[in-house]
Amino acid sequence: RRMRRLTLAGLFLLLLIAAAQPASAATKPAPAKAIAGIKKLPRAARELPKSGRKKVRRGAKRALKLARRGRICELRAVLVSLPREPEKLAPALKRIDRSLFKDKRLRNCKTARVDATRATAETAQSTVNEGAPFDTPDKPGPLNKEESESEEAAALPPGPEHGPDAEIKAPVDPGADKPADTASRPRAGGSALTDEMSSLTRALGRPTAFDSLGDPLDPVVASSGNVVVAGGNAYLAFSDDGGRNFSFIDPTKLFPDDPDGGLCCDFQVAYVKSIDAFLLLEQYWCTVNTNCRGQGSQNRYRLAWAKPSDLVAGGGVNGWKEWTYITSPGGTNARWYDRPDMAVGSNFAYLTWNEFRGYDDPKDDNPKNDSTKEAAGAGATIMRIPLSALKPDGVANSYTRTRAHNDSWFLPVLAQSPATVAYAFRSISDSELTMMRWPESSKTITSDSVPHERLGTEGCKVGGFTQFCNDADGDKMSAYRLTGAARQNGFNGSRVWVALSTARRKSGDKSDSENRPNSRLMVINPSTKKVVESSTIGATGCSAGFTRLTASTGGEVAGSYMLSCADNFPNFRFALFTGTRRYNGIKNSVRGTARIGDYSGVAPEPDGKHFVAGANNLSASSYDVTFARFGRKSDPIPAAPIKFTAPLAFIAPPVTPAAKPDLIVSSLDPTAITIKNQGAAGAGASSATVGIVGQTPSRTVSIGSLAAGASQTVSYEAIPCSGGQLEGTADSGGVVDESNESNNKFSVPCR
């Protein structure tokens, strides 16, 4: 009898527990269209290799169970982990996505972090060892603790989306779910990662003397502290006072020869503290076909170096020492080089670039029309050079190189500040990266897959730029281009940042503030091959692009990028991304164009506290060069060096003018006028007039207050307009203090 009572009590307790379970235990299944699409995935994977088909079958089986149980978040993670083959699986996965996006439950798990613990991707590891043997340091040693592969850091909580000048207190310690003591965090040379930003900015204008060397300018920059070297397709710029003043230098005059088809069109520059020297990589154009797109095209790079003291003595022109030429192969294997990247580690300098074969018809660069069907992509090279060889008596052939991949559509991007392990990344689909790893003590490169959340692919037009996600080459990865990477110091090698420019999620839809071309920042743990943190740069109504990353020895990650808000023309921005994120910018662009370049530039200074950055802004008729030097406010920008002993007059520091509105007439007809505030600050109430040119204005209308980027359309009784010009005037009463008082009038022909 006692046992019977205990049994009944136990059953009753179980019933109570079951009744208390959340409703999620009986959650409705995923949308029917999503389930139907998952069932078709194995069929869509028939053309994949056996290992790929097996992976898809397993993933589809797991996804189907989760879909039927209504476990939407886990289902999404499984789908993200599946292989991405644009011509095979992408359409099927896209249809499933569309169905899932309609399910409101997805919003509850719409975090930036990719949880790969349930969606384990089988990462295929391959060893790359083509060409000559890899070089190793004179005294190779074991990987230090910072690069230990056995150390796994806990995943970071996802960071919120943020925008210009927002103060986002994102945790920076692995596993920190609560505000951490900033004293225990990595610091930028002693400053807290919560401080405000201090900066020095300069608008350098247009290096018009070198216009023939190509647009856009593709800026790069490096600094030894007082000496700054900046460059682009068309120019070099030199400063010996920490970026306060610059002089433009003709890069074709640095050396006695100008080989092949002449200097064009990319540079890379870096400062190496351990040897106190700048490295300069110059690209030359082809000889057989001067546009480099015909069969048999070849070109080369020149690698040079210079001591900062020699550059100061030679005014930035004298002091450069040519070290070696890196020439593309000839004969039947002829190919030409383009889009270089460079990073400097503890003992090596790393270089990478794309390799292209020529086309049958140089004027037709569509691979589908070429006999080889591969003219666009012959490969990508990754090379390393011992820093010990970069000296006057160094031997120029004391380096080796490797052909790392065979698909140059996806440009390899080197992680900056690599220390003793170099990383390079490739974006191979809208939801997968390839991570290449090359330790200094190893003779081989390993390659792994890193799955991530699926990115938008449906349009890149922003603020007059038709290719805000990418350049104008129209390659197949233009909607999710990898633009920057950096290894963050102070986390046992467990944090490597990457930046991707992504497109809209839905074609033509601007109603969703997130549905804009943007920059996605991801933090990857190289040991686990997982994304542990992800966020966007642009705030609501804003788009960011062309984000370049770097890292200081003090644990700070910084970047430069372009930002467009409310579809205004993008302008140059720079930011500190670790800890409390800080942002600043310089000079708005005043027009759009097809593209703004391949990348912007950013680099750390050797003090571990400050950074330098460079980018393009568009003036009325050209690309203008802009420069910034920045860091945390508790580490002020150092004063300019004293160069002479004469009595010094006090020179006040540059004052950034206050932001002002700028009212213009953006559209006009006989029945309505639209006034837009294209300035950087709000405008109070004003008036506008409309009339025939040469006559007294016949209509006066009131315009309300306009925020930056806002506009207002006012209708009025139709103005008879059969000849002459119809003219509208913004702020006709002159009551608004504007940044530009000369652009208030606008006229159109009467029709």
Query: Which residue has better confidence, 560 or 371?
Result: 560
Asked if 222 contacts 603 with a C-beta cutoff of 8 angstroms, the reply is yes
Kindly indicate the confidence band of residue 610, based on its pLDDT and cuts at 50, 70 and 90.
Answer: very high
Mean pLDDT check: name the lowest of 161-165, 214-218, 411-415, 471-475. 161-165
Q: Give the sheet arrangement for strand 432-439, strand by strand.
A: 126-128, 445-451, 432-439, 421-429, 413-414
Q: Summarize pLDDT for 268-285 with one digit per residue, the tens.
A: 999 999 999 999 999 888
pTM value?
Answer: 0.62
Structure tokens at 304: 């040079």
Q: Domains (ranges, CATH) in the chain?
A: 23-110 (no CATH), 155-174+188-206+454-637 (no CATH), 213-408 (no CATH), 663-749 (2.60.40.10)
Structure tokens at 52: 């790929």
Mean pLDDT check: name the lowest of 160-164, 366-370, 372-376, 638-642. 160-164
Distance CA 285, CA 633 (A): 43
Asked if 640 contacts 241 with a C-beta cutoff of 8 angstroms, the reply is yes
DSSP 736: S
At 644 the pLDDT is: 40
Q: Summarize pLDDT for 644-676 with one digit per residue, the tens.
A: 433 333 333 444 567 899 999 999 888 999 999
List the beta strands (DSSP E) in 208-314: 220-223, 228-232, 235-239, 247-249, 263-272, 277-284, 300-306
Q: Summarize pLDDT for 223-274 with one digit per residue, the tens.
A: 999 999 998 876 888 999 999 998 888 888 888 887 777 888 788 999 999 9
Q: Summarize pLDDT for 694-717 with one digit per residue, the tens.
A: 888 888 999 999 999 999 999 998
Asked if 147 contacts 419 with a C-beta cutoff of 8 angstroms, the reply is yes
Task: Please state, rounded to an integer, the average pLDDT across all residues of the chain.
Answer: 73
Distance CA 271, CA 227 (A): 10
17 pLDDT higher than 80: no
SS3 letters across 387-413: HHHCCCCCCCCCCEEEEEECCCCCCCE
